Structure 1
Amino acid sequence: MLTGEVRNKIDKIWSDIWAGGISNPLTVIEQLTYLMFIRSLDEKELENESFEALGGEGIPKIFPQDEDGQNMRWSKFKTKDSRIIYDIVGTKVFPFIKTMNGANTTAFSRYMQDAMFLVPTPQVLQKMITGLDELYEHDIKDLDMQGDLYEYMLGKLASAGQNGQFRTPKHIRDMMVRLLAPTPNDKICDPACGTAGFLVSSSEYIRENFEAEMTSEQWEHFAGEMFSGFDTDRTMLRLSAMNLMLHSINQPHIDYVDSVSKQNSIASAYDIVLANPPFTGTVDAESINDNLKTVCDTKKTELLFLALFLRILRKGGRCACIVPDGVLFGSTKAHKALRKELVENHQLQAVISMPSGVFKPYAGVSTAVLVFTKTGAGGTDKVWFYDMKADGFSLDDKRSPVEANDIPDIVTRFHNLEGEMDRMLTEASFLVDKAAIEANEYDLSINKYKEVVYEKVEYDKPEVIIARLDGLNLDIAAKMEELRGLLGE
């Protein structure tokens, strides 16, 4: 975890950039991302040189070996005059990283072609370089901390995008990953990946639980094939590739794809899908993939993405995704068809209702987490419902840490559904028979099944209440007389 001191240093860099004229937080993160990438290239080159010096085999160089090429290295230019640094980064380093796209480069470099260097002045650039260098030299000790640093910066993206996308808080992502419990052999996908938060949370879970026992083949799988993500925003693709790179995933399948369009024909490819798909946004009806329409004929992105998850999962593959509450009880033909598909043709396991403050300060939408397994042959017997009331943070715009937190209970109970059999419908979690869901037109809102216990309130008889009111009136009259007497003296 980042200390308060480290956070303050990041905030200082941020405010320097802000004061220099870059006010869009996405642009700030982009520019810092480019500098972090430039620095990481030099770090890699230094590692290679150390390996060679110890008698290792020759390794292809990242930077050209002439003077101009060597001057592009972070360690060479960082101490120069601010105007010289600005010229080197703007006219040499930036064009260089935009064009490096060979077989051995990272996913990040693939999305650099349309990147723009937008740091306004030499002074702002020097502050950014000095601030980052100090962080790396004194505070950022390992990949985990680099990831935390990046996560903290991404946390400043406190606004929803044009198409209704917004960052899923890390603790919610981590909860969803723990519900599915991925293994080192799984292939994991987020078809609306944004900044790759779900993929990063999955990688952290795998390292935390399997690192000591993973084989070399599994590590190779981890660095590339294991993680796939799609998005239609190239800025997001750059940020997600950088985010994954900071977590030792150098060759993920991060691609520019409109997931629900005819452009995407992927089917039965993944073991796990984790996603928070866009809840709004325009979809061109002509471009929607026909096999999604067969599940639910709609233009609503949240329904189309659910149909997509079913298509891209292999049989036995599992999904945990966030949906707006409307998906659970919507009365349109498409809503009902999608819910029926999940319940009748696959195995719907859980509906976790989340409080509306989870996505504050930038959205107050009520949402739920759906957990299901693709079977193609049914399997839904009972569906587990959980009414989450607290997630460890206040549910106002401040989102301050609080003690109340249902997440540990949710994860524990989900992995022991046998123990939920005797739970009453009045409790926070309970199981509902498939027959009851079918009878309610596949309505999946928890309030349809949760029973509320009303406490009986005993009231006094009317004559007792009237006598009490008479007594109060007499008391008021006496006090008024006393007050008049005081005023008359």
Structure 2
Amino acid sequence: MAKKNSNDNGKTFTTQQGLNSYIKGICDIMRRSNCAGALQYVPELSWLLFLKILDDTEQREAEEAEAVGDSFADSIPEPYRWRDWANPQGNRRLNLQMGQMGQFLPFVNEEVIPYLKSLKNKPQATPRQKIISEVISSVERVRIDTETNLLDILDKIHEIDYIDPTHIFPISQVYEGLLLKMGEKNNDGGQFFTPREVIRAMVKAITPQVGETIYDPCCGTGGFLAQSYEYIRDFLADDITPEQLKTIKLKTFYGREKENLIYPIALANLVLHGIDYPHLWHGNTLNREVIYGDLFQDAPPQFDIILTNPPFGGKEHRTVQAQFAYKTSATQVLFLQHVIDSLKPGGRCGIVLDEGVLFRTNENAFVQSKRKLLNDCNLWCIVSLPAGTFVAAGGGVKANILFFTKGKPTEKIWYYDLSDVKVTKRKPLMMNHFQEFLELLPNREDSERSWTVTREEIEAKNFDLKAVNLNTKVDEDKSTAKELLDFIEEKGKEVALTLSVLRKWER
């Protein structure tokens, strides 16, 4: 069995800042090489970084198998492995570079990419081979404009020493930062990127455990699934058993995503975090039209945990509405129905919904969907988020987090109010903002920010679930004139975005 190619020039990073700076240097080369913005260079970096880490992983697995006398088959054969064509010392790369200048780009575009995309079509394709093909699915050819720049980028990616598994976490953190940049540059960024501090708070509130299945029906870049994996790993720490590790890497995480650009990035992101088999379904969750579903084939019909942030302001066609009990064009209301149906009895959910879903009582589907929620589930908590929470991720809609357990009906709802926290792109919502919420949550204690509302009160308001904090104090505003003008301008933009969302709901 061949040993792992040495990487004498490999860089082992001791600080997160050092790794951030190094990856930024790679992105700088991409920006001057026909990948001007994050929407171009993040997808390009995704599949290249994925192939590098996959190759390191398989070489390590081959050595471990050899040590105990087992055989190991690479998912990608020679000469299409990273070590063959991207490694500066790879045989295929050296042969191409010794030949006529200009042969390398055609080899990657005309041989490597088509071959990797075809792996999933092999009669006995493994789950890993299917994942490889799907990560490459949206790549037609290398976006980088010159052979010299591509080789420079490959050299720098190859220098990242990934032998030590502890590097998974910092690399994934750098990658999340890149995804945030992509969300900021995209007008609809809020559709696929949820602020990571919101995700972390939701995961802590739901407390996923090993052995539970976790599902996100509109997973975007995979943030909820990745954070749930990290939560379970951190919770078990050194006490995790080989069987438990196998369970969370192979049999735990399920998701759906329809966007062609985002789906392969989600796969790459989850693998970067350490999930070997992310069960992701490529297609439209609401109309059930599938683009690629093989990775989702063994998914259970219902799940223990659902964590999700459905797209804000979407509008669905009547053919989609026909598949739901309560018909509406509002995407989030249809997703709420899907989530309730997809939860196991006793299953737990954390879902982000915009304010309109909570307070609208003038459309039957809104009222009936909320009635179904309170009848079929115990809606035990609603967190009212600040209006600017999603600004940094490309969206400005006022939103709430709903937590519920399927089974017993709702008798009372505990509210926690963060709506008065001033949040902007430069001052995003942080984990410390959720500290008191997480401390009070177990006993549902009352405070200046928290209170309880009974089922009877909700029904009297025709299922208006909007948070109304009667404990709010009016403080003297000591802002300067410039700060007030900046705040008014920011809020004006948020109001305009919210109005545009509400107008989409009108038939």
Q: Pick the TM interval, shorter chain.
A: 0.7 to 0.9
How far apart are 1:268 and its partner, in Å? Answer: 5.2
* 1:397 pairs with one of 414, 425, 432: 425
Distance 1:315 1:52, change over 3 A: closer
Distance 1:8 1:68, change over 3 A: closer
Query: Aligned partners of 1:255, 1:55: CA distance in 2, in Å?
Result: 36
Considering Cα pairs closer than 8 Å and 6+ residues apart, tell me whether 1 or 2 has the greater RCO. 2
Which residue is equivalent to 1:286?
319
Q: For residues 126-183 of structure 1, what are the alpha-carbon distances to aligned partners after superposition, in whole Å with 9 as ceiling and x for unaligned?
A: 2322332334479995211221122122121114465961410111101000010010
* 2:400 pairs with one of 351, 359, 368: 368
Which residue is equivalent to 1:46?
59
Residues 304, 348 of structure 2: 8 Å contact kept = yes
Residues 318, 374 of structure 1: 8 Å contact kept = yes
How far apart are 1:69 and its partner, in Å? Answer: 10
1:381 and 2:411 correspond = yes
Q: How many residues align?
A: 441
1:414 and 2:441 correspond = yes
Query: Aligned partners of 1:275, 1:401: CA distance in 2, in Å?
Result: 18
How far apart are 1:220 and its partner, in Å? Answer: 2.7
How far apart are 1:98 and its partner, in Å? Answer: 1.5
How far apart are 1:72 and its partner, in Å? Answer: 3.1
* 1:258 pairs with one of 281, 284, 297: 284
Which residue is equivalent to 2:157?
132
Query: Aligned partners of 1:51, 1:405: CA distance in 2, in Å?
Result: 42
Residues 75, 129 of structure 2: 8 Å contact kept = no
Q: Which moved more, 1:67-76 or 1:175-184?
A: 67-76
Which residue is equivalent to 1:468?
none
* 1:450 pairs with one of 463, 470, 493: 470
Distance 1:398 1:124, change over 3 A: farther
Residues 107, 250 of structure 1: 8 Å contact kept = no
* 1:22 pairs with one of 35, 53, 56: 35
How far apart are 1:452 and its partner, in Å? Answer: 4.3
Q: For residues 423-451 of structure 1, what are the alpha-carbon distances to aligned partners after superposition, in whole Å with 9 as ceiling and x for unaligned?
A: 36xx211111222122122211112x524
How far apart are 1:65 and its partner, in Å? Answer: 5.0
Q: 2:314 aligns to what SS in structure 1?
A: coil
Which residue is equivalent to 1:108?
131
Q: 2:349 aligns to what SS in structure 1?
A: strand
Residues 317, 374 of structure 1: 8 Å contact kept = yes
Which residue is equivalent to 1:462?
none
Question: Unaligned regions of 5+ residues in structure 1, if any?
Answer: 457-489
Q: Which moved more, 1:205-214 or 1:226-235?
A: 205-214
Q: For residues 174-204 of structure 1, what are the alpha-carbon distances to aligned partners after superposition, in whole Å with 9 as ceiling and x for unaligned?
A: 1000010010011000000011100000000
Q: For residues 276-324 of structure 1, what are the alpha-carbon distances to aligned partners after superposition, in whole Å with 9 as ceiling and x for unaligned?
A: 001123322113452x2x2x22111010000000000011111101011
Matched to 1:116, the amino acid is: E
Which residue is equivalent to 1:273?
306
Query: Aligned partners of 2:471, 2:83: CA distance in 1, in Å?
Result: 70
TM-score where L is the length of structure 2: 0.78
Which residue is equivalent to 1:434?
455
Query: Aligned partners of 2:112, 2:75: CA distance in 1, in Å?
Result: 12
Distance 1:315 1:110, change over 3 A: farther
Which residue is equivalent to 1:307?
337
The equivalences for 1:81-230 within 5 A come to 81=97, 83=102, 85-101=104-120, 102-106=125-129, 108-111=131-134, 112-117=136-141, 118-136=143-161, 142-157=167-182, 158-160=184-186, 165-230=191-256
CA RMSD of aligned residues (A): 3.2
Distance 1:446 1:203, change over 3 A: same
Matched to 2:202, the amino acid is: M
Question: Unaligned regions of 5+ residues in structure 2, if any?
Answer: 1-13, 291-296, 477-507
Query: Aligned partners of 1:438, 1:12: CA distance in 2, in Å?
Result: 57
Distance 1:104 1:314, change over 3 A: closer
Query: Aligned partners of 2:301, 2:163: CA distance in 1, in Å?
Result: 46
Q: 2:273 aligns to what SS in structure 1?
A: coil
Residues 353, 401 of structure 2: 8 Å contact kept = yes
Q: For residues 9-66 of structure 1, what are the alpha-carbon distances to aligned partners after superposition, in whole Å with 9 as ceiling and x for unaligned?
A: 2222222211222124233111111211222343234325534664632212344457
Residues 86, 155 of structure 2: 8 Å contact kept = no
Residues 387, 419 of structure 2: 8 Å contact kept = no
Q: 1:246 aligns to what SS in structure 2?
A: helix
Residues 267, 312 of structure 1: 8 Å contact kept = no
The percent identity for this pair of structures is 24
TM-score where L is the length of structure 1: 0.81
Query: Aligned partners of 1:104, 1:451: CA distance in 2, in Å?
Result: 53
* 1:356 pairs with one of 387, 392, 396: 387
Query: Aligned partners of 1:254, 1:162: CA distance in 2, in Å?
Result: 22
Query: Which structure has the larger Rg over C-alpha atoms?
Result: 1
Residues 310, 332 of structure 2: 8 Å contact kept = yes
Residues 143, 246 of structure 1: 8 Å contact kept = yes
Q: 1:100 aligns to what SS in structure 2?
A: helix
Q: 1:359 aligns to what SS in structure 2?
A: coil
Query: Aligned partners of 1:165, 1:194: CA distance in 2, in Å?
Result: 7
Which residue is equivalent to 2:8?
none
